[in-house]
Chains A and B, each alone.
Chain A
Amino acid sequence: MNNPPIADEALKTTPLHALQVALGGKMVPFAGYEMAVNFPLGVLGEHKHTRAAAGLFDVSHMGQVRLHGPGRAEALESLLPADVANLAPGAMRYSQLTNDQGGIIDDLMLTNAGDYLYLVVNGANKDGDLAHMQAALPGGITVEHRTEDALLALQGPAAAAVMARLAPGAETLLFMTSRAITVGGLDCYVARSGYTGEDGFEISLPAEQAEELARLLLAQDEVEAIGLGARDSLRLEAGLCLHGHDIDTTITPIEAGLNWSIQKRRRQTGGFPGAAVIQAQLRDGPARKRVGILPEGRAPAREGAVIVDSDGADIGVVTSGGFGPSLGGPLAMGYVHTEHAAADTPVGLVVRGKTLPARVAKMPFVAANYYRG
């Protein structure tokens, strides 16, 4: 048994830290914050509850950024490969800040909020992202880090019913759209999005009102507090990338299978960092690809496990792996040479010196349940 990490006094806290502790959260360091990895329900129970009803996640550690100024859409397009200029008010896109090699500095959600662009970036990367945007965007664009805003996610098949009760009309939002909505009397910015594969909402509001909203949501019969552990197992079953693990500065969006997030105009005209690399990979195919992997036995393969072919030759590495509570077994994602990337290709996973049989599998591992109207 390894000893558990001991909480660091220097860690930052989110506006819901006191509530997480009061709810019995097991607090751990994550992305520079002390946050709950699970609550008394436990990772398995929290995961299953989210897929069956609704889970409330505190994701206030993530960076919320507003870009102001004329020409902001075109300016942001110089840093990432999504079509921002043609994004309708309220519409959202998933994208990636790229470097000159086409690698992913960070992945993010961007929204045309009307008067500004609203970005949500990873907590662990937000300081670097802010510095990058401030340095690279033209002088007329203001980068505003919303440090006094909290972010809550309500995820699961019952999320819409909960929102309909507290914020009538919110349940009509379509997947990947957003608008300002009053939730339980509190002014919020609500998006139909998430990181679980389930229907759900992400709700931004001033930090000082976050606990009031969280308590109101938790008071609904369908809702349980969910920690980081289940957040990770839910996103893994949904086949969603975690930056720093499944994607990083050495991996392109094409290798990661995120082609769908690069709209046609940007593929053709480029104009983002690493465009030449990414356009070449779109044309010729990448040498390696992100794939889902299902071990045949019960043993999970964790991040770093080497993937081998039927001859035992090294063909890649696992970047996320564990146990899928809804799947009821182990699952992983990782990178393999493209010739081994087809679904059902038999591979081996080297775990504690033994090669375990596995197969390349389509993702998501658990079907998505998004609300598209």
Chain B
Amino acid sequence: MSNIYFTEDHEWILVEGDIGTCGITEFAQEQLGDIVYVELPEAGREVVQNDEIAVVESVKAASELYAPVSGEVIESNDELTDDPAKVNVDAMGDGWFFKIRISAMDELENLMDKAAYDALVAGQS
């Protein structure tokens, strides 16, 4: 049973216990191109699923990240502030954006598994 989920807006959330680590997908970073700025949520912030939670900007454009689930932000990846290009290099790993303590585990049921997300992306690329 896989513990990684995806949103239609090209975010991923890796779930371990009640903690989710979130970022943008490989497809998203490729579409955005060179990332030059990220704005991360502060620890302690409470969000509801689909709230705007972070910003990612390429040379050309700004895009928002939406909270994949409801919960409390417990940590942000401050290394991205100084080196936003990490998102291009390793979107699904070192380029993670924030960690969230999930308050409603059942919201994960609204998200896609890898197979469903891969099918979505195959239709967009």
Which A residues have a C-beta under 8 Å from some C-beta of B? 1-4, 6, 26, 37-38, 42-45, 47, 229-230, 232-233, 298-300, 302, 322-323, 325, 330, 352
Contact = CB atoms under 8 A, between A and B. Distances in A.
A42 B60 contact: no
Given A44-B34, A44-B59, 18 more contacts: A1-B9, A1-B24, A1-B25, A1-B66, A2-B9, A2-B63, A26-B33, A37-B60, A42-B33, A43-B58, A45-B34, A229-B59, A230-B59, A298-B37, A299-B57, A300-B37, A330-B37, A352-B39
Size category of the binding interface on chain B: 20 to 34
Contact of B64 (A1, A26, A42): A1
B93 to A, nearest CB: 18
A37 B28 CA distance: 16
Contacts of B9: 1-3
Contacts of A44: 33-34, 36, 59
B55 interface: yes
Interface of B: 9-11, 24-25, 28, 31, 33-34, 36-37, 39, 55-66, 81, 124
A17 to B, nearest CB: 19
Nearest to B32: A1
B111 to A, nearest CB: 14
10 shortest A-B CB distances, which residue pairs? Answer: A44-B34, A1-B10, A323-B36, A43-B59, A1-B9, A4-B31, A1-B28, A229-B60, A323-B59, A42-B34
B60 A325 contact: no
B36 to A, nearest CB: 4
Contact of B62 (A4, A43, A302): A302
Interface centre among B34, B37, B62, B81 (most CB of A within 10 A): B34
Interface centre among A47, A229, A230 (most CB of B within 10 A): A229
Nearest to A323: B36
B77 to A, nearest CB: 15
Nearest to B57: A300
A11 to B, nearest CB: 18
